[in-house]
Amino acid sequence: MASKAGVRFEEAEKKRGKILAWTGLTFASIGWLFRSSPTAVTLVAALSAYLMSGDRYQWVYIWRKTVYRDMLGLRVLLVTMFRVWRWERRGTTVVSRWAEIAKRTPDKPAFIMGDRSVTFKQGDEFSNRIAWYFKRQGFKRGEVIALYMETQPEYVFLWLGLAKLGVTTALINNNLRGNQLIHCLRVAGCKALVFGDEMAEAVKEIQTELLDVPFFQFNAPERPTSPILGDSVALSAEVNEMPADPIGDGLDSKPRDTLLYIYTSGTTGFPKAAIITNIRFLLIPSGVHASARLSSSDVIYDPLPLHHTAGGVLGAGQALVFGCTVVLRKKFSASNYWSDAAKYKCTAAQYIGEICRYLLSMPPGPADQSHQVKVMTGNGLRPQIWQQFVERFAVERVVEFYGATEGNSNLVNLDSKVGAIGFLSRLVSSIYPLTLVKCDEITGEILRDSNGRCITCGPHEPGLFLGKIDAKKAILTFAGYADKTASEKKMVKNVKVDGDCYFNTGDILVMDHFGYFYFKDRTGDTFRWRGENVSTAEVEGVISSLIGLKDAIVYGVSIPNVEGRAGMAAIADPEKKLNLVTLAKGLKTKLPVYARPLFVRILPEPPLTATFKLKKKELLEDGYNPNTVTDPLFYLDQKMGEFVPLTPKLYDDIVQGVVRL
């Protein structure tokens, strides 16, 4: 559909250009007859004809439509680049920047959670005590300590205190258990583990595997008497005995020194430890601060986990880097989102993943528009619900952005264009070296021309999104992962010229004629059926809108002796209200036959990552065999056009080819 739209655009604009060109010539000719300066009129006519004819008119038209947007984008880019350049030139780190901010408004709340707040002065003193304590324990600059706890204000100041000592903190996802938890500790080379008392049971399970790692238990202020696990150190009590004066060690850090490890949540495989340097931490909240037009007086609602970039860097960073007050919540709650925003008088709020869909699924209430939130920032607001979302909740601006924890390929939607994840100017795209290149949508393999160069995509051509790596510019660096091999796999060389290097986002995007980008799929998520490519993201969006915004995960499954992969949808239906008859009818009207899922699995609850992304690895492995899958399974009968129960007999008939697909 996108390519057809592109063709229609070109044809319409060329036709319009020719009409205007001839119109311009006609009026110029008439003017020549009645004016005394025929030479000037002729020159104007010729220039008008040149600008208005063919493709040249198209570019004039694009310029007229995008000049204001591009000026906004240029301003944000220049402000962010200059600010980061200045910080790097001065040797600014997160610790030194925080020191400046904490002195400005010491008594202002830095973080609020529930009925408790921590001021900038209190946070600074607590982080100083943490630095002194671990220094006396013998930890040194460059070593790594893991932090494993649920959201609370002290979380940020724990790793900030370690940064004051020059120690790197690995922020461990508090949802991880067993082997995945052990993997995260080992891949980053952690010398110790600081954990919250609420994580004691999970830590107890792995203690015997990590006998050489000391454990420090931090009891939350509201649970000071929680029992201490085994040989763990009672950190809360020990820290209170430390001085609150600055330690000074962290001042020797450099902007490019590693500050944190943040693990990619990913939907497949073990998490990778992405390197977050000081300058990258400063860059992320800075870009959003400029894009959303925030100031230090804004109150930010951040109900996202602090062990991930969105909540812990982009959100919490508004306090650390710019002096905003940030409101935290232990766990995201759709039913309390807007009432919290109103209670704390938040002026900006964050979202990510499926949060907006969850908010829309809540019954309408007085809190929907009684808040003071003017701008929302995040990524993952689906085009299908965008307009409905902003109208229901009276949100003036949505700043949808695109980026990855470790990546250098960032986009932002500054003018609330519905569905767009950002844009690049069509006229001066070289200012920010990002590109779309052609690839095999199924395997993700990059296609190259006869000279071995990547093939650039045109408007409405889906392609793999790459960002040029330039170690000299902080905004274009790629620090990589703790695992060097994993870092190398994300690099693409000789993209446009010999020796250049780009970061591979792994995402398939589409750009329109005006330079807006739209997310299409992750490489590997697209599958081929009946000779056509099927985008899982597009099908998921359609299904979700048909079933009342419930969670839906779409993937391709293999059928013996059948080419390609058939579509399968796993739908979360904890209330058991899913109407498969309505779903089948909706799919028939909304999707082409090749994109309609043949199989449906009903899940008791949605399998989500900590950043509200839907997991599909385990579902892919389970397949559609009713003999091994305990959840209800259904098959889309081709003749009836309805979903029927997938019995063992029907399953056997399908895999043996008795049922014709």
Give the span between the Cα atoms of 483 and 380, in whole angstroms. Answer: 28
Residue 589, exposed/middle/buried by CB under 10 A (0-12, 13-18, 19+)?
Answer: exposed
pTM across the whole model: 0.78
pLDDT of residue 127: 96
Give the span between the Cα atoms of 331 and 611, in whole angstroms. Answer: 11
CA 589 to chain CA centroid, Å, is 31
pLDDT band at 32 (very low <50, low <70, confident <90, very high): very low
**Superfamily name with CATH number, domain 428-520:** Luciferase; Domain 3 (2.30.38.10)
- Cα-flanking dihedrals φ and ψ of residue 446, to 5°? -75, 135
Residue 13 near residue 57, CB atoms below 8 Å = yes
Give the span between the Cα atoms of 405 and 420, in whole angstroms. Answer: 20
Percent of the chain with pLDDT over 70: 88
Can you list the alpha helix ranges (DSSP code H) found in 344-422?
355-361, 383-392
Q: Where are the domains of the chain?
A: 2-52, 80-294+303-329+337-422, 428-520, 525-655
Q: Which amino acid is at 322?
A: F
Give the span between the Cα atoms of 433 and 423, in whole angstroms. Answer: 12
Q: Which amino acid is at 542?
A: V
Class of domain 80-294+303-329+337-422: alpha beta
SS3 245: coil
Residues with Cβ within 8 Å of residue 231, at least 6 apart in sequence: 215
Average pLDDT, the chain: 86
Q: Is residue 407 scored above 70 in pLDDT?
A: yes
Q: Is residue 22 scored above 50 in pLDDT?
A: no
Mean pLDDT of 94-118: 96
Q: Are strands 375-379 and 397-402 parallel, antiparallel or unpaired?
A: parallel
Sign of the dihedral through C-alpha 429, 431, 437, 443:
negative
Which of residues 581 and 22 earns the better pLDDT score?
A: 581
pLDDT of residue 465: 93
Mean pLDDT of 608-618: 65
pLDDT of residue 429: 65
Q: What CATH architecture does domain 525-655 belong to?
A: 2-Layer Sandwich (3.30)
Mean pLDDT of 138-143: 93
Tokens in use for 553? 């995960």
pLDDT in tens, 286-344: 999 999 999 999 999 999 999 999 999 999 999 999 999 999 999 999 999 999 999 99
Q: Is residue 171 scored above 70 in pLDDT?
A: yes
